[in-house]
């Protein structure tokens, strides 16, 4: 392909005219017209000599050749496009996608230099030029490996390139070998798990938990993909209870953030990172695996916070952060029934690896509570309905309906007991095994009626070292949130009397086939049922 550095054609010579030419010019009606035409021709020639220009990848400087852009990027921005091409084995089309990706998404140099396969610009949409007449897209990438080029070392030769390719091939072979070993190990673990697993068991044995640890689930891809859509972030940002609680905690306790290094796990659109930056943090690192992180980069730049906030795409368990320790970890990790989605696992990982001694995780305390529900109208609508559907008995459908936990906003008037806290989590001390548990509970009945369901919700506390403590609840008697409440329907309503103690037991464990979902087993009086939350 022709190099975009090709010079514009030089203007024709403008030597002194001959006698014959002078005589011809004397025949022109007016000399002033000829002078004007001569001046216009000179202006056109000067414009042709100037040639097209293109913009730097990271700033607004303009250059007349791709080589000048690459040299500028290397010296001023510490970005060597030749190194990126070599490191990732890019062909010409891969190079085109890289340039368009950088122009469109405007990632940081640190982010680009940290990338490895899979690359974020592999989509075909990055073949479309982002900048019209972009000289960089007309550049022959083979020129990047010519000894005379300023981007390459004078000592670089074909032998070194071959050795580099062999090195990458060897590295890929080792990765493939390691992946095969992991797959074989996972297969053995799954076989062992299949022998041990009993869905209604009250407590999973520690050996079974160990056997399935580390399984790589395809559901993770679906999970992170869902957070790449703007709609879910709009819903969360518009949840005033959620967002304003985090804002108030950060803004009303600036002493916790002043001149501190902050890690935002699962940063999404970057709202918590920006709160922390405004509160005085000297550096904020936001990490998110979903595609929304590219929008977050634009948001950070729009708000002129790019000198404080750095965003990294990837799982916190896999990325390399540009620092070893942080002072504060913030995260909005909560799911339905608090533990759905298992994102607290990632926060605990970040705490154990990156939190400096004396540092803190926020929110620092969370509780899960249960209440009894008496709503015969809902019971009829959800369960009795199947007994007569247009004259047909479909009651067998109850067996499929009951085990599915229902996420909905409860009518406060249907709550028939005081709340009972079944789990308290200290986020600064919790370990991943703490998130699977079995607890007995007692619900003190406040109304004589029939108990048709048990519902769960959670409360969140920002208290550690806070001058102004903040908390919020997702309970049915509080302002509703996008988390709503989680309802476990009882197949047969239980008659209860005011003042009665309704006793039971709850077991919460992860679904081994999809660790982000939960199995919840409830025993109330003589009834026992396992529910799935997925």
Is 332 one of the annotated active-site residues of the chain?
Answer: yes
Q: What mean pLDDT, rounded, does the chain reach?
A: 81
pLDDT at residue 150 greater than cutoff 50: no
Q: What angle do CA 232, 237, 242 make, to 5 degrees?
A: 110
Predicted local distance difference test score (pLDDT) of residue 438:
96
Annotated catalytic residue, options 332, 387, 408, 491: 332
Question: What distances in angstroms separate CA 108 from CA 114, 136, 198, one per listed residue?
Answer: 10, 19, 49
Which of the following is catalytic: 25, 27, 341, 408? 341
**Per-residue pLDDT at 158:** 56
Q: Please choose, from the candidates 246, 239, 286, the residue with its C-alpha nearest in 3D space to the C-alpha of residue 267.
A: 286
Tell which phi-psi region holds residue 342, choosing left (phi > 0), alpha (psi between -120 and 50) or beta: left
Least confident of 198-207, 369-378, 464-473: 198-207
pLDDT by residue (tens digit) across 153-205? 444 455 555 666 666 666 667 666 766 776 666 666 665 555 555 444 443 33
Q: What angle do CA 481, 487, 492 make, to 5 degrees?
A: 160
Domain 366-462+470-533, CATH 3.90.1580.10 — does that match? no
How far is the C-alpha of 173 from the C-alpha of 167, rounded, in Å? 10
Per-residue confidence band for 209, with pLDDT thresholds at 50, 70 and 90: very low
CA distance 304 to 59: 14
Least confident window among 32-46, 174-188, 203-217, 388-402:
203-217
**pLDDT at 452 exceeding the cut of 80:** yes
Active site residue 341: yes
> Which DSSP letter does residue 234 get?
H
Buried b / exposed e along 215-248 (16+ C-beta atoms within 10 A):
eeeeeeeebbeebbeeeebeebeebebbbebbbe
Using one digit for the tens of pLDDT, what is the confidence trace for 486-533? 999 999 999 999 999 999 999 999 888 877 788 999 999 889 999 988
Q: Is it the case that residue 252 has pLDDT exceeding 90?
A: yes
353 close to 381: Cβ distance less than 8 angstroms: no
Task: Return the SS3 of 276.
Answer: helix
Tokens of residue 30, six digits? 């007016």
pLDDT band at 32 (very low <50, low <70, confident <90, very high): very low
User: Which residues, other chains included, contact 404 with Cβ-Cβ below 8 Å and sequence gap of 6+?
Assistant: 531, 532
Tell me, which fold does domain 227-332 have in CATH? Rossmann fold (3.40.50)
Residue percentage of the chain with pLDDT more than 70: 74
> Beta 62-63 vs 355-362: how paired, if at all?
unpaired
pTM for this prediction: 0.60
Winning range, highest mean pLDDT, from 29-38, 56-65, 108-117, 174-183? 56-65
Mean pLDDT of 285-297: 91
Annotated domain spans of the chain: 19-46, 54-156, 160-212, 227-332, 366-462+470-533
Q: What is the pLDDT of residue 15?
A: 44
Q: pLDDT, tens digit, for every residue of 306-355?
A: 999 999 999 999 998 989 999 999 999 999 999 887 789 999 999 999 99
Q: Contacts by 43-46 with C-beta closer than 8 Å and gap 24+?
A: 45/11, 45/12, 46/11
Cis amide linkage into residue 102, ω under 30° from 0: no
């Amino acid at each position: 392909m022709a190099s975009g550095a090709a010079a514009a054609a030089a203007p024709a010579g403008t030597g002194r005219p001959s006698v014959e030419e002078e005589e011809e010019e004397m025949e022109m009606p007016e000399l002033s017209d000829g002078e004007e035409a001569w001046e216009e021709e000179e202006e056109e020639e000067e414009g042709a000599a100037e040639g097209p220009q293109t913009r730097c990848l990271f700033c607004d400087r303009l250059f007349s050749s791709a080589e000048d852009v690459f040299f500028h990027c290397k010296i001023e921005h510490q970005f060597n496009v030749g190194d990126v091409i070599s490191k990732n084995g890019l062909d010409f089309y891969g190079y085109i996608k890289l340039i368009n990706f950088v122009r469109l998404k405007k990632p940081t140099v640190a982010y680009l230099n940290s990338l490895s396969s899979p690359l974020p610009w592999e989509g075909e949409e990055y073949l479309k030029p982002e900048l019209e007449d972009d000289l960089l897209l007309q550049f022959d990438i083979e020129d990047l490996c010519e000894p005379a080029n300023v981007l390459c070392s004078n000592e670089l030769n074909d032998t070194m390139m071959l050795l580099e390719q062999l090195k990458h091939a060897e590295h890929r072979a080792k990765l493939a070998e390691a992946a095969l070993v992991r797959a074989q190990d996972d297969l053995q673990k799954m076989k062992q798990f299949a022998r041990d697993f009993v869905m209604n068991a009250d407590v999973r044995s520690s050996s079974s938990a160990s056997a399935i640890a580390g399984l790589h689930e395809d559901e993770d891809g679906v999970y992170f993909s869902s957070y790449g859509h703007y709609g879910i972030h709009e819903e969360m940002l518009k949840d005033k209870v959620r967002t304003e609680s985090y804002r108030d905690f950060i803004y009303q306790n600036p002493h916790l953030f002043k001149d501190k290094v902050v890690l935002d796990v699962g940063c999404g659109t970057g709202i918590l990172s920006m709160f922390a930056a405004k509160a005085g943090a000297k550096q904020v690192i936001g990490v998110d695996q979903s595609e929304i992180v590219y929008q977050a980069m634009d948001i950070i730049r729009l708000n002129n916070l790019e000198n404080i906030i750095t965003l990294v795409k990837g799982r916190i368990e896999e990325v390399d952060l540009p620092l070893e320790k942080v002072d504060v970890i913030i995260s909005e990790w909560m799911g339905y029934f608090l533990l759905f989605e298992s994102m607290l696992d990632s926060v605990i990982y970040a705490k154990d690896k990156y939190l400096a001694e004396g540092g803190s995780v926020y929110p620092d305390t969370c509780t899960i509570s249960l209440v009894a529900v008496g709503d015969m109208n809902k019971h009829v609508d959800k369960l009795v309905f199947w007994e007569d559907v247009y004259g047909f008995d479909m009651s067998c459908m109850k067996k499929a309906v009951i085990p599915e936990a229902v996420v909905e906003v409860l009518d406060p008037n249907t709550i028939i007991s005081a709340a009972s806290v079944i789990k308290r989590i200290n986020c600064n001390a919790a370990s991943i095994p703490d998130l699977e548990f079995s607890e007995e509970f007692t619900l003190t009945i406040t109304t004589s009626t029939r108990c048709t369901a048990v519902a769960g919700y959670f409360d969140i506390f920002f208290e550690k070292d806070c001058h102004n403590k903040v908390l919020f609840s997702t309970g049915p008697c509080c302002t509703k949130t996008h988390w709503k409440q989680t309802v476990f329907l009882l197949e047969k309503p239980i008659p209860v009397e005011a003042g009665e103690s309704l006793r039971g037991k709850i077991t919460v464990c992860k679904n081994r086939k999809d660790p982000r979902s939960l199995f919840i087993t409830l025993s109330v009086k003589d009834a026992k049922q396992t529910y799935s939350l997925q």
